[in-house]
Chains A and B, each alone.
Chain A
Amino acid sequence: MDSLADQLLVLVMLFNFIVLGSSRMAFCIRAAAVQGVILGVLPGIIHSFSWHLVAITTGIIAAKGIVIPWLISDAVRKAGIKREVEPFIGYVPTLILGAIVTALAFVFAERLPLAPEHRDLLFVPAAIATLMTGFLVLTTRRKAISQVIGYLVLENGIFIFSLLLTTAMPVMVEAGVLLDLLVGIFVMGIVINHISREFSSIDTSRLSALREE
């Protein structure tokens, strides 16, 4: 079972690169959604069956695979965005940066004092690599939508780490985290809509009226 989980985690890390490297917004959103669905399947593989697990799995797949991508695409449609992602730095440099942080994630994870049963698994490097990818997207993209995708990828990274903890997060809290993410993205979608109406663009580098003189 663990080898299957590891293969899925490799897939998750590949999707990091797709998000980093693709120039089309719709493709980016779909990549983040697929990544979310893979993550939704993972708890089912590593833990034994329980109704709690079924509820969480369905919840995650519904939220990350369907509702959130729909919310973001809806915001894209309403804002009438062009296809390009418009990064501050080019695709090739971001991809190289992505590769570097992924490599560093593996080096870093080696040195962490992990519990013996987690030592040979990919969870920790995958979590760190995905988290850092999210950061990269957040900081290098101009468009508000891309920043939301970055936030989503960052949350995915944190979620991977949470898979190592089975009992710490009870259903209520896990559902709460998911709901907060959903509402957060919903509000972000509304704000993006207003940004595009106000500035006729969702280029966040235009959000620069507020600063110290």
Chain B
Amino acid sequence: MLTAAVLLPLVGALAAWIVPGNRLRPLVLPAVAIPHLVLTLALLAWTPPPSPQGWIHLDPLGKIVLLSISILFLVCAVYAVGYLAYRRDRSNRVLCMGMLACLSAMTLVTASQHLGLLWVAVETTTVTMAPLIYFNRNARSIEATWKYLLICSVGIALALLGLFFLAYATLVAQRDATLLLGPILASARELNPGWLHASFIFMLVGFGSKMGIAPLHSWKPDAYGEAPGLVGALLAGGLVNCAFLAILRVYQISLAAGGEYLFFQKALLAMGLLSMGFAAVFMARQADFKRMLAYSSVEHVGILAVALGLGKGALFGALFHLLNNGLTKGVLFLSSGNIHRSYNSKSTEVVRGALGRLPWSAGLFLAGFIAITGSPPFSPFVSEFTIVSSAFVEGRYLAGGLFLLFLAIVFIGMALTVLPLVMGEPPADAERTDYRDRLLTVGPPLALLGLILMLGVWLPEPFQRLLRDGAALLEARP
């Protein structure tokens, strides 16, 4: 079944290449995404045993990421059908193929237990996303693509070096050099601390730059700002989660290695708080609402890192937040894409009073803003609350206090941008385009919003168990 989940999108990519005409091609996306979600749910219910050499296995951590990616992709796929109907002027062949190939790579990331294979899959997601950022084909988007491609490629190359250091540590410990997660976890205590230390630093920098954690986030505002809304959603909810899964794997190894995890936790905590601080500073008075969303993504990557750094009770919150962040970013990016289409501008000077022109999209954008800043009753509130309360229960008052402070600043900063955009007085000379809210462009983000609302008030029992199983894998055992 896993093989099918990886191959199906590739077949879809091939189909997208063959199908002539811009009108029919986007239909391939939901045609792949629906069976992919069905397969994912089946995989979650009946998990196949690990492959004979132990390379491929879907553990609880992988399952959580796979679920979040598959849901988000289905929503983006349905949205794409509606969105691309407005962009008939340019060929969407590359976009459709890139999205599907990326889905295949992301699925592989979630199931890899061999770190080399995981690396290959993560790098594939980087490369397949690059042409998508360039969909608008103008000077600004080419600049964003170049920065994204170069910084992420170099970052990921450093992560590869970190992986080699890890394998070398097993060699120095007089074992067969290996990158399989199982044997590394089993023998982690005997590994040379010097090599492990170096390996963790390189992998943190490498996967961290892919995830966009401060101070390695410089490509993020550009790429998220210039990419079409639906690509932004996939970047913020798909690629970020894949890179975070890679960080989780490193975290698992650091736990198994004993003393090393304290260092890794501290580094994650510091970088996480730094990300939140950066986001808080740059979020206020942002002149471009898509760039603002990018800083929101930097903030939430920071929240995830802080939660890992705190450990214990926050781990459950981290895994839950991973899903919540991905889905809520979907709502925000898709609705912001609609607003962008309607005004043909991303500037907050021009885009004002969107509620009058696009009641649905603007309403969704506003609701997404309320959700992402951690207000009840939406699910990000639950996960953020879990993280903060665990910080205070564990007596980490400084980290918990800073966390709350940054959340508050971000809330105010984001409100200063979002509220005039949604409710303000529309400027008289704003450009009008033929974009109108339709079922296909409003329904998908609305469904996502419904989902995070549901998760905020009711967490289904199997999913709760999955989160607990995942958190148990990340818990420190003395």
Does A6 reach chain B (CB closer than 8 Å)? no
Q: B117's closest neighbor in chain A, by CB?
A: A173
CB distance from B94 to the nearest CB of A (A): 10
Residue-wise interface mask of A (67-104) relative to B, using a CB-CB cutoff of 8 A (1 in contact, 0 not): 00000000000000000000000000000000000000
Chain A residues whose C-beta falls within 8 Å of the C-beta of B161 in the assembled complex: 131, 158, 161
Does A1 reach chain B (CB closer than 8 Å)? no
Compute the total of residue contacts between A and B using a CB distance below 8 Å: 125
> Is there contact, CB below 8 Å, between A154 and B154?
yes
Chain B residues whose C-beta falls within 8 Å of the C-beta of A176 in the assembled complex: 116-117, 120
> Is there contact, CB below 8 Å, between B164 and A158?
yes
CB distance from B365 to the nearest CB of A (A): 22
Q: A195's closest neighbor in chain B, by CB?
A: B142
Chain A residues whose C-beta falls within 8 Å of the C-beta of B138 in the assembled complex: 198
Chain A residues whose C-beta falls within 8 Å of the C-beta of B389 in the assembled complex: none
Tell whether A165 pairs with B117 under 8 Å between CB atoms, given A207-B146, A212-B282: no
> Is there contact, CB below 8 Å, between A151 and B139?
no
Q: Which of B142, B153, B177, B221 is close to A165, meaning CB atoms less than 8 Å apart?
A: B177
Chain B residues whose C-beta falls within 8 Å of the C-beta of A212 in the assembled complex: 221, 282
CB distance from B112 to the nearest CB of A (A): 10
> Is there contact, CB below 8 Å, between B150 and A173?
no
In Å, the complex CA distance between A191 and B165 comes to 32
Does B425 reach chain A (CB closer than 8 Å)? no
Does A177 reach chain B (CB closer than 8 Å)? yes
In Å, the complex CA distance between A169 and B178 comes to 7
> Is there contact, CB below 8 Å, between A162 and B164?
yes
CB distance from A2 to the nearest CB of B (A): 17
Does A34 reach chain B (CB closer than 8 Å)? no
B interface residues, tally (CB under 8 Å): 49
Q: Please classify the interface of chain B as helix (H, G, I), strand (E, B), loop, or mixed, using the class held by over half of its residues.
A: helix
Q: Which of B117, B142, B154, B287 is close to A151, meaning CB atoms less than 8 Å apart?
A: B154
Interfacial residues of chain A within 176-195, with CB under 8 A of chain B in the complex: 176-177, 180, 183-184, 187-188, 190-191, 194-195
Interfacial residues of chain B within 105-160, with CB under 8 A of chain A in the complex: 114, 116-117, 119-120, 123-124, 126-127, 130-131, 134, 137-140, 142-147, 149-150, 153-154, 157, 160
Which of B168-176, B233-241, B247-255, B453-461 lines the interface with chain A?
B168-176
Q: B194's closest neighbor in chain A, by CB?
A: A113
Chain A residues whose C-beta falls within 8 Å of the C-beta of B150 in the assembled complex: 138, 147, 151, 188
CB distance from A50 to the nearest CB of B (A): 16
CB distance from A197 to the nearest CB of B (A): 9
Q: A117's closest neighbor in chain B, by CB?
A: B171
Does A14 reach chain B (CB closer than 8 Å)? no
> Is there contact, CB below 8 Å, between B143 and A180?
no
> Is there contact, CB below 8 Å, between B153 and A177?
no
CB distance from A38 to the nearest CB of B (A): 19
Interfacial residues of chain B within 207-261, with CB under 8 A of chain A in the complex: 221-222, 225-226
Does B72 reach chain A (CB closer than 8 Å)? no
Q: B145's closest neighbor in chain A, by CB?
A: A191
In Å, the complex CA distance between A190 and B94 comes to 13
Chain A residues whose C-beta falls within 8 Å of the C-beta of B127 in the assembled complex: 180, 183-184, 187
Tell whether A113 pairs with B124 under 8 Å between CB atoms, given A191-B130, A198-B138: no
Chain B residues whose C-beta falls within 8 Å of the C-beta of A195 in the assembled complex: 142-143, 146
In Å, the complex CA distance between A204 and B151 comes to 13
In Å, the complex CA distance between A208 and B226 comes to 14
Q: A176's closest neighbor in chain B, by CB?
A: B120
In Å, the complex CA distance between A155 and B161 comes to 9
Q: Which of A115, A147, A169 is close to B171, meaning CB atoms less than 8 Å apart?
A: A115
Chain A residues whose C-beta falls within 8 Å of the C-beta of B114 in the assembled complex: 173
Interfacial residues of chain B within 282-299, with CB under 8 A of chain A in the complex: 282, 287
> Is there contact, CB below 8 Å, between B178 and A167?
yes
Chain B residues whose C-beta falls within 8 Å of the C-beta of A165 in the assembled complex: 164, 167-168, 171, 177
In Å, the complex CA distance between A184 and B119 comes to 14
CB distance from B174 to the nearest CB of A (A): 8
> Is there contact, CB below 8 Å, between B142 and A180?
no
Residue-wise interface mask of A (201-213) relative to B, using a CB-CB cutoff of 8 A (1 in contact, 0 not): 0001001111011
Residue-wise interface mask of B (361-387) relative to A, using a CB-CB cutoff of 8 A (1 in contact, 0 not): 000000000000000000000000000
Chain A residues whose C-beta falls within 8 Å of the C-beta of B123 in the assembled complex: 177, 180, 184
Does B388 reach chain A (CB closer than 8 Å)? no
> Is there contact, CB below 8 Å, between A194 and B134?
yes
In Å, the complex CA distance between A165 and B142 comes to 38
Chain A residues whose C-beta falls within 8 Å of the C-beta of B205 in the assembled complex: none
> Is there contact, CB below 8 Å, between A168 and B153?
no
Chain A residues whose C-beta falls within 8 Å of the C-beta of B222 in the assembled complex: 210
In Å, the complex CA distance between A207 and B6 comes to 37
> Is there contact, CB below 8 Å, between B179 and A169?
yes
Chain B residues whose C-beta falls within 8 Å of the C-beta of A131 in the assembled complex: 161
Chain A residues whose C-beta falls within 8 Å of the C-beta of B137 in the assembled complex: 194
In Å, the complex CA distance between A131 and B205 comes to 15
Does B195 reach chain A (CB closer than 8 Å)? yes
Q: Which of B119, B172, B225 is close to A114, meaning CB atoms less than 8 Å apart?
A: B172
Interfacial residues of chain A within 103-129, with CB under 8 A of chain B in the complex: 112-115
Q: A202's closest neighbor in chain B, by CB?
A: B146
Does B47 reach chain A (CB closer than 8 Å)? no
> Is there contact, CB below 8 Å, between A169 and B116?
yes
Q: A116's closest neighbor in chain B, by CB?
A: B172
Does B345 reach chain A (CB closer than 8 Å)? no
Does A27 reach chain B (CB closer than 8 Å)? no
If A115-B172, A210-B144 are given as contacts, then 11 extra A-B residue pairs at C-beta distance below 8 Å, sorted by A number, are: A114-B172, A154-B157, A158-B161, A161-B164, A164-B171, A165-B168, A180-B123, A184-B127, A195-B146, A204-B146, A207-B147
- The 7 closest A-B CB pairs, nearest first, are A176-B120, A173-B116, A168-B167, A168-B177, A207-B143, A210-B222, A180-B123
Q: What are 16 A-B pairs with beta-carbon distances under 8 A?
A: A115-B172, A151-B154, A154-B154, A161-B165, A165-B167, A177-B123, A177-B160, A183-B124, A183-B127, A184-B126, A184-B153, A194-B142, A198-B138, A207-B143, A210-B140, A212-B282
